[in-house]
Amino acid sequence: MVADIRLLQGKLIENPEQGSKNISKLIEELALEILTEEELAVAAAPKNGSGSKS
């Protein structure tokens, strides 16, 4: 027996434009996460620069 369709269809968002209740908190956290990652990437990058490498 296949699982309830609710598990397969994803979450139907009633008012997509309404957004999350925690919007400012989430944007702040996202900015911090991206910034931290960028700082870490800069710290880890070799001095002569880097590109898309494999």
Partner 1 sequence: MNEPRTDSQSGSSLQTSGRKKLSLLIVQMGEVDEVFRSLMALKAIKHLYPEVSIHVASRRGNSDPFKRVEWIDSVLDTPKFQKGEDPVVKVALWIDQVILRNYDILVNWTGDPKRIRVASILTSLIPAAVKLGDHVAEDLSIHSYDGWSMYRNAWAGKNVEQDIHQTDLITTQLLTALQIHSGDPAPESAMNSVSSKFFFKAVNPALPAVWLDRPKGLKWIAVHADSMSERIAEWIEMVLRRHPDQGIVLVGDRPGFEIAANSRVVDLRGGIHFDSMISIFSNCGWLVSGEHPIVDLASLLNLRIFYAAPAGSREFSLKWTERGPYGNGHIAISSREEWKPEVAYAAWSYFQSEWFHKNRLTIHGHFENLSMSAALQEIQVFRSRIRPANEGGGVSYEPIAGVVQEFESWIYRVRGQIARGWFCGWLPGVEEEVSKLTLSPALVRRIRALNDSVIVIEQLGSQGRSTAIALEKHAKNMKSGYLMSVEDRTEIEEAGKKLLEIEGLIERVAQVEPELECLLGWYRQMIHNLESQSLAGMARETADAFDLVLEGVDLISAYTKKTLDLAKPKAITSGVVGTRELDS
CA–CA distance, 38 with 45 (Å, rounded to integer): 10
| Matching residue, tokens 């296949």 | 2
Site for partner 1 in 1-54 (CB under 8 A): 1-5, 7-13, 16-17, 19-23, 25-35, 37-38, 41, 51-54
Least separation in angstroms between residue 47's CB and partner 1 is 14
Q: Of the two residues 9 and 43, which places its CB atom closer to partner 1 in the complex?
A: 9
Q: Contact at 8 Å (CB) between 14 and 20?
A: no
CA dihedral for 8, 13, 16, 21, sign (positive or negative): negative
Sites of contact with partner 1 (CB under 8 A): 1-5, 7-13, 16-17, 19-23, 25-35, 37-38, 41, 51-54
